[in-house]
Chains A and B, each alone.
Chain A
Amino acid sequence: MSKFFLVRFSEAIVALWAITVIVFALTHLSGSPVDALLPDDATPEQAQMLIEEWGLDRPLLVQYFTFLGNVLQGDFGDSLKWRGQTAMGVVLDHLPATLQLGSFAVLIGVVVAVPLGVLAAARKNSAIDTSANVLALLGQSIPNFWLGIILVWLFGVTLGWLPTSGRGGFSHMILPAIAMSWFQIAALTRLTRSAMLDVLDAEYIKLARIKGLGERAVVWKHALRNAAIVPLTYFGVLAGSILTGSVVIETVFAWPGIGWLAIEAIRGRDYPVVQSVVVVFAVIYILANLLVDLLYAYVDPRIRR
């Protein structure tokens, strides 16, 4: 048990460390870090300050550890585009918007996909099963950025029901959240369906039926409780698709979260902000995966070894 935790925890640390190495290496491979980290109109005095603060005149290994030390304190330098703010400050300002949209998208995904997957499995080869299959196939095949634009065109422009972009009331969240959860619905439906099919074959389900329990209780209570563990493992992958989704969907809908921020920062050549977004994203993603694994081990004792 404790060994399992230890292994997973050290893996998470190594993955985070790998991200810092990549970010550091890219700053140096692309040319002088002084150019990357300072605005074009910087004075020689500013360049000198940066060189001293980050130890840029020292050997590469020393530079890396200075960088790592700064990163551990959340210090990525000052933003070049959003003047007068630190890079990390800009990112933290935009983080709540991303979390809000992301969690709403996950909520939609679970609320739609789990019942659909259960019904599809309970009535195998019925019309509902077929439509769940079609939905899963379409979910994999429709690019979400295009879906977002089409949704805006249909519901924002043609019908005029919902706002087309920006962050405001609840209505602003509906279209981006649907576009973001689209792929997740497909994947989660498929996973729930196959997990349910496995469980419905099990002996204890037969027993429940023999006992004379109603079909509804068998499916929704006995079977779903045991099948729900499989989609749980998928939430780690889901965290990844939400990160990617947040970059793409926030850009489509001009939703001011950190995904949108990353693209704006790349356009504005604001390297410190891009670095901060990458590291914050990595921390969220790796923590989410770690949490899912630990939760899974807690729920299912068979995998703690």
Chain B
Amino acid sequence: MPPPAGGVARGSGRSFGLASRYPLVPITILMIVLVIPSFFADLIAPHDPYAASVPNRLEPPVFAGGTWEFPLGTDRLGRDILSRTIHGAKYALSISLVGIFLGTILGTAVGLAAGYFRGWTDRIVMRVVDVSFALPSILLALALAAAFGSSFEGVIFVVVFVLWSYFARQVRGEVLSLRERDFVARARVAGAGHGRIIFRHILPNVMNTVIVLATLQIGVVIILEASLSFLGIGIPRPTPAWGLLVADGRALVVSAWWVSLIPGLAILLTVLSVNLFGDWLRDRLDPKLRQR
């Protein structure tokens, strides 16, 4: 692993206290590439991401002989790649947050019910989870795109489909052992109903696992969304989503390599930082997940 500030180094040197407590490098990269562009795209982006300008088509980036007018070059229609990549962050962030939020809630709820009530609920839920595991997401994405065309809802649906069974399985496993613990028995003796036991006594104990798993999935989801968009079965054109931006450059790789390179770097940096951050969070909150 490259030596990012923090991450692994623990408690070494008091002067680096802050740096070793928080993984500063991944957080900084995430702020610069993903979070700030998502919220302030209109303020930061030097050009309109949709504005075509034919005289300026296929301008190279400034470090490859271009001008500061278009610092990272332009695409086939003369649209500014920096601006399009900045606006693309919005879609990566919003799709992954919404998808993970819905998938986590659905999976956690199902896992809680299956682990707590056991019996038939558990058996049926786990069968559905198994079948859902047995279906690769790409098949669903292909079938959905063929039937309805590409859409935001379709991407979110695929993301939720990928995530829910994963969360359901993990949460169920934890709940199965939690429900046998003393504090649950005591709550029951004190007259707590099923709802209260599940939400007040069991849910808080699985929250750490859920948060860590959700963080570790962000990278997976961003790559999934970008892949679907790249294939033309994800976010519809002409939205400047990162996967679509990379796809724009595929046919131009002989003459204009920067069209694909720049948005792809944005994906790479984002996913790399999210993964580093997720690893740090897992070690912090839920070290037992490490053995995998």
Q: Flag whether B124 is at the interface (Cβ < 8 A).
A: no
| A interface secondary structure, majority | helix
Residues of chain A in range 125-172 having any CB-CB distance to chain B below 8 Å: 130, 133-134, 137-138, 140-146, 149-150, 152-153, 156-157, 164
CA–CA, A251 and B271, complex, Å: 22
Q: How far is the CB of A128 from chain B (nearest CB, A)?
A: 14
- Does A286 interact with chain B (Cβ within 8 Å)? yes
- Chain A residues within an 8 Å CB radius of B44: none
A30: B residues at CB distance < 8 A:
147-148
A289 in contact (CB, < 8 A): yes
- Taking a contact as CB atoms under 8 Å apart, the answer to whether B136 and A26 are in contact is no
A267 touches B142 (CB 8 A): no
Q: Are B246 and A149 touching (Cβ within 8 A)? A: yes
Residue interface bits A1-44, CB-to-B below 8 A is 1, else 0: 00000000001101100110011001101100000100000000
Kindly state whether residue A118 has any CB partner on chain B within 8 Å: no
A285 to B232, CA, bound (A): 23
Stretch at the interface among A59-67, A109-117, A239-247: A239-247
Interface presence of A277 (CB below 8 A): yes
Query: Which listed residue, B140, B223, B226, B250, touches A22 by the CB 8 Å rule?
Result: B140
Q: Which of A257-305 contact B (CB under 8 A)?
A: 262-263, 265-267, 271, 274-275, 277-278, 281-282, 285-286, 289
Any B CB within 8 A of the CB of A105: no
**Cβ-closest chain A residue relative to B229:** A145
Q: Assess whether B135 is in contact with A141, with CB atoms less than 8 Å apart.
A: no
Assembled-state Cα–Cα distance A138/B142 (Å): 27
Q: Is the beta-carbon distance between B1 and A134 smaller than 8 angstroms?
A: yes
In the complex, the chain A residue whose C-beta lies closest to that of B146 is A274
How many contacts between A and B, using CB within 8 angstroms?
143
How far, in whole Å, are A19 and B219 apart by their CA atoms in the complex?
27
Q: How many residues of B contact A (CB 8 A)?
A: 45
Contact with A along B120-139 (1 / 0, CB 8 A): 00000001001100111111
- Expressed in whole angstroms, the Cα–Cα distance for A36 and B147 within the complex equals 8
Query: Which of A14, A22, A153, A164 is in CB contact (< 8 Å) with B143?
Result: A22
A142 with B131: CB separation less than 8 A? no
Q: Answer whether residue B236 sits at the interface, using C-beta atoms and an 8 A cutoff.
A: no
**CB <8 Å contact, B134 and A29:** no
Instruction: Tell which of A15, A133, A137, A164 touches B135, judged by Cβ atoms closer than 8 Å.
Output: A15
Interface size on A, residues (CB 8 A): 55
Closest chain B residue to A265, Cβ basis: B146
**A196 sits at the interface (CB 8 A):** no
Partner of B227, one of A145, A266, A286: A145
For the complex, is A252 an interface residue (Cβ under 8 Å from B)?
yes
Determine whether B71 belongs to the interface, using a CB cutoff of 8 Å to chain A. Answer: no
A240 CB contacts on chain B under 8 angstroms:
136
B213 on interface, CB distance cutoff 8 Å: no
With A142-B268, A244-B137 given, is the CB distance from A14 to B131 under 8 Å? yes
Are B227 and A252 in contact (CB-based, < 8 A)? Answer: no
Q: Is there contact, CB below 8 Å, between B138 and A133?
A: no
Instruction: Tell me if A143 and B145 are in contact (CB < 8 A).
Output: no
Contacts of B250 in A (CB 8 A): 149, 252
Closest to A148 in B: B250
**Contacting residue for A244 out of B144, B227, B249, CB 8 A:** B227
A23 x B260 contact (CB < 8 A)? no
Chain B CB within 8 A of A248 CB: yes
Q: B268: which of A22, A143, A262, A263 is its contact (CB, 8 Å)? A: A143
Residue of B nearest to A190 (CB): B292
Instruction: Assess whether A27 is in contact with B147, with CB atoms less than 8 Å apart.
Output: yes
Q: Which residues of A contact B (CB under 8 A)?
A: 11-12, 14-15, 18-19, 22-23, 26-27, 29-30, 36, 130, 133-134, 137-138, 140-146, 149-150, 152-153, 156-157, 164, 194, 240, 243-244, 247-248, 251-252, 262-263, 265-267, 271, 274-275, 277-278, 281-282, 285-286, 289
Residue contacts A-B, CB under 8 angstroms, 25 given: A19-B139, A22-B135, A22-B143, A26-B143, A26-B146, A26-B148, A30-B147, A36-B147, A141-B219, A143-B268, A145-B226, A146-B268, A149-B250, A150-B264, A152-B253, A164-B253, A240-B136, A243-B138, A248-B230, A262-B142, A263-B232, A275-B146, A278-B139, A278-B143, A282-B139
Q: A30-B147, A274-B146 are in contact. List 16 more A-B contacts (CB 8 A).
A: A26-B148, A30-B148, A130-B1, A134-B1, A142-B271, A143-B223, A143-B230, A143-B246, A145-B230, A145-B243, A150-B261, A153-B261, A248-B230, A248-B231, A263-B232, A281-B138
